[in-house]
Amino acid sequence: MKRIETDVIIIGGGATGCGTLRDLALRGIKAVLIEKNDIASGTTGRNHGLLHSGARYAVNDLESAMECIAENRILKKIARHCIEDTGGLFVTLPEDDPGYHQKLVEHCRYARIDCEEISIGKALRIEPNLNPAALSALRVPDGTIDPFRLVSSNVLDAQERGARIFTHTFVTAVIQEGSRVTGVRCHDTGTREDFEVYGQVVINASGVWGQRICALAGVELKMFPSKGAMVIIDYRINNVVVNRCRVPSDGDIIVPGDTVSLIGTTSKKIDYSQIEELSIDDSEIEVLLADGEKLIPNISRTRVLRAYSGVRPLIAVSGDVDGREISRGIVLIDHAARDGVEGFITIAGGKLMTYRLMAQMTTDLACKKLDSSRKCSTHREPLPGSELKSMPGKHIKFFSGIPQSVVGSTLYRHGERVRQILSLSKRNYALICECEMVCEGEVEYAIRHLNVKDLVDLRRRTRIGMGPCQGELCSYRAAGLFARLNVATSAESNGMLVDFLEERWKGMKPILWGDGLREAEFTHWIYQGLFGLGDVNLPGEEESL
């Protein structure tokens, strides 16, 4: 069996795991990351993309609020190409407790969060689609952040500094010598190869799946799975983040994200056995749409693109409580101190906003075990793409001859790395996805440099299939590129296409009515009626007689 030697092994390719990989690489420590699916395919990629100001937590969880605003300021410096600094509003509606407004102002002051009381007239100028019946408004430094772009940039930087990553690879066993964890046994689902990785420290950064990894090491960790559902609207109905000024509840935030808007989120306790197969209830969608419309009445005139959900990686507490009552605080466990198992660390809790801080805390503990005195620099070292302050006019001029919309979109997603993506070759800037303005050069760059192994991975790197048509007119073009670039056979590309459409279908199925149903029928007509995709033999299937 193949054996790999390193200093630190990280299990879990979410924001925290990938942030830890980068932190270790910046400190010159060898590290390997193992992820059972694709990076950001779990909870990290299933949130509403809010760059928290911390105001949402200020009243009930002051410590988390202070962490959020501190990381908000850091990320705006080191991850500019992943962030849109939209600003945010907290608005009080007629049915809300007017006293919560002042309470929020006071607690934001305690947390040192900029919070400005503004008139409804000014709020409507900032966000014209806002409900004009609102009673009061506050402006806070919220924004939006692309979790896929953020995680991919962390991995890219780590790999360029010598780190290694294995995606679509399961940890099948934790290797121990006596009371010390010394490595992990893995299975690559692509190559079907088994191999072992040995290191001095193993970090369990697998989120809600951390309970299972701990069990492999013979220690107990009880997670509290809390499901949150969200819906996506087919165009961007708001330009700033709009929050309901009340105790956190369902359907109290609308976040603009790239070309769409997202309404979030619910909170529902689920059994741990359900974390792999999440379902979305009609009642959840109804609540999100109804409460979302109270904030922005335009929602009633939009098409719902899809619904999705994620599981919050919260550590359980005693008692049968709702997921919102558990702190989003960070939980760092040294299993040597807690369980007598040396060389094993678990990082859990927290949120996307605090991923860098969580990575720093985890890496500090790992360095202590490695007797390393190297300090963290992730708070000041910009991520790939954010090395220089973006200058869109300069880049568009540099690529004169390429449509400005293509240059602008590529720059928006990849920042300064745009120079490694675009060229004046017409094939390079030919469009693959019109909704998100993704060109052939960007697809090739993602496949070559960003750990893309299939179409679903490609969606997370480029947003192909995430616009209004949900992959209807771009997925077959992208699948063809895998074959043309000689990274997949024609049969493998067809298999990727089927898997991609199936993944898109999962999110559309809960909202099949009206225009959404018509769009789904049109997609089915294209791929089954026109292309006959359902009749194509895929890898592993027997030839039809």
> Concatenated DSSP letters for 170-223?
EEEEEEEETTEEEEEEEEETTTTEEEEEE-SEEEE--GGGHHHHHHHTT----E
Q: Does an H or E element contain 479, and which?
A: helix 475-484
Please check whether residue 13 lies inside any domain of the structure: yes
Banded pLDDT at 395 (limits 50, 70, 90):
low
The tokens for 225 are 């799975």
CB contact at 8 A, 467 and 436: yes
Q: Is residue 394 part of a domain?
A: no
Dist CA 288 CA 56 (whole Å): 18
Least confident piece of the model among 385-394, 446-455, 483-492: 385-394
List pLDDT tens digits, range 29-81: 999 999 999 999 999 999 899 999 999 999 999 999 999 999 999 999 999 99
The predicted structure's pLDDT at residue 359? 98
82 pLDDT more than 70: yes
Burial of residue 327, with CB atoms counted within 10 A of its CB: 0-12 exposed, 13-18 middle, 19 or more buried:
middle
CA distance 298 to 69: 30
Confidence category of residue 312, pLDDT binned at 50, 70, 90: confident
Q: Which residue has the higher pLDDT, 399 or 240?
A: 240
Q: Is 542 a residue whose pLDDT tops 70? A: no
Q: Output the pLDDT for position 329.
A: 78
Structure tokens at 347: 């990082």
Domain-ending residue, one of 261, 276, 311:
311
- Binned at pLDDT 50, 70 and 90, residue 224 comes out as confident
Asked if residue 544 belongs to a domain, the reply is no
Calculate mean pLDDT across residues 2-18. Answer: 98
Whether the pLDDT of residue 145 is over 80: the answer is yes
Report how far residue 357's alpha carbon sits from residue 363's, in angstroms, rounded to the nearest whole number.
10
Same domain, 204 and 302: no
pTM, to two decimals:
0.94
Give all strands of the β-sheet with 344-349 in edge-to-edge order: 164-166, 31-34, 8-11, 201-204, 344-349, 330-334
What pLDDT, on a 0 to 100 scale, did the predictor assign at position 319?
Answer: 42
- Hunting for tokens 């009633």 — which residue is that? 300
pLDDT, residue 335, reads: 97
Provide the token pair at 206.
């697998």
Tell me if 298 is assigned to some domain: yes
Flag whether 456 is in a domain. yes
Q: Are residues 174 and 278 in the same domain?
A: no
66 in any annotated domain? no
Give the dihedral sign, CA 115/120/126/131: positive
Q: Flag whether pLDDT at 325 surpasses 70.
A: no
Residue 461: the pLDDT is 96
- Look at residue 333 and tell me whether its pLDDT is greater than 90: yes
Does 504 lie in the same domain as 359? no
Count structural domains, the chain.
3
Give the pLDDT of residue 391.
Answer: 53
CA neighbours closer than 13 Å in the CB half-sphere of residue 30: 8
Q: How far apart are CA 247 and CA 8, in angstroms?
A: 41
pLDDT at 394 over 70: no
**Judgement on whether residues 437 and 526 belong to the same structural domain of the protein:** yes
> 435 and 474 in contact (C-beta within 8 Å)?
yes
Nearest to 35, CA basis, from 226, 218, 227, 163: 163
Contacts of 342 (CB under 8 A, 6+ apart): 179, 180, 181, 335, 336
Residue 481 pLDDT greater than 60, yes or no: yes
Verify that 212 and 238 share a domain, yes or no.
no
Among residues 311, 336, 353, which one ends one of the domains? 311
Summarised one tens digit per residue, pLDDT across range 349-367 is 888 999 999 999 999 999 9
Strand 223-233 relative to strand 268-269, pairing: antiparallel
- Residues 23, 107, single domain; the answer is no
Of the chain, the percentage scoring pLDDT greater than 70 comes to 95
Using one digit for the tens of pLDDT, what is the confidence trace for 257-302?
Answer: 888 999 989 988 899 999 888 889 899 999 999 999 999 998 988 9
**The dihedral formed by the CA atoms of 25, 26, 27 and 28, expressed in degrees to the nearest 10:** 50
What is the CA angle 347-349-353, rounded to 5? 100
Which of 369, 391, 419 is the C-terminal boundary of a domain?
369
DSSP annotation of 542 reads: P
Q: How far apart are CA 49 and CA 143, in angstroms?
A: 9
Residue 385 lies in a domain: no
User: Could you tell me the residue range of the domain that residue 119 belongs to?
Assistant: 80-143+224-311
> Is residue 417 one of the residues assigned to a domain?
no
Q: Tell me: do 241 and 136 sit in the same domain.
A: yes
Quick one: 348 and 443 in the same domain? no
Asked whether residue 212 falls in the same domain as residue 237, the answer is no
By three-state DSSP, how is residue 243 classified?
strand
Residues 6+ apart with CB under 8 A from 219: 335, 338, 339, 341, 344
Q: Which whole number is the average pLDDT over 314-334?
A: 64
Residue 320: the pLDDT is 45
pLDDT value of position 296? 96
Question: Tokens at residue 543, please?
Answer: 């030839």
Same domain, 107 and 179: no
175 and 288 part of one domain: no
Residues 39 and 84 in one domain: no
Residue 16 has pLDDT above 90, yes or no: yes
The confidence band for 396, taking pLDDT boundaries of 50, 70 and 90, is: low
- pLDDT band at residue 398 under the 50/70/90 scheme: confident
Element (H, E) at 476: helix 475-484
Predicted pLDDT of residue 388: 73
Question: Residue 545's pLDDT is what?
Answer: 36
From residue 87, alpha-carbon distances to 3, 295, 351, 498 in Å are 49, 16, 19, 39
User: Rounded to 5 degrees, what are φ and ψ at 226?
Assistant: -120, 115
The confidence score (pLDDT) of residue 397 equals: 67
- Looking at every residue in the chain, the average pLDDT score rounds to 92
From CA 475, how far away is CA 461, in angstroms rounded?
14
- Check which CATH number belongs to the domain holding 212 and give it: 3.50.50.60
Q: Helix, strand or coil for residue 335?
A: helix
The secondary structure of 262-292, three-state, reads EEECCCEECCHHHCCCCCCCHHHHHHHHHHH
State yes or no: pLDDT of 318 exceeds 50.
no
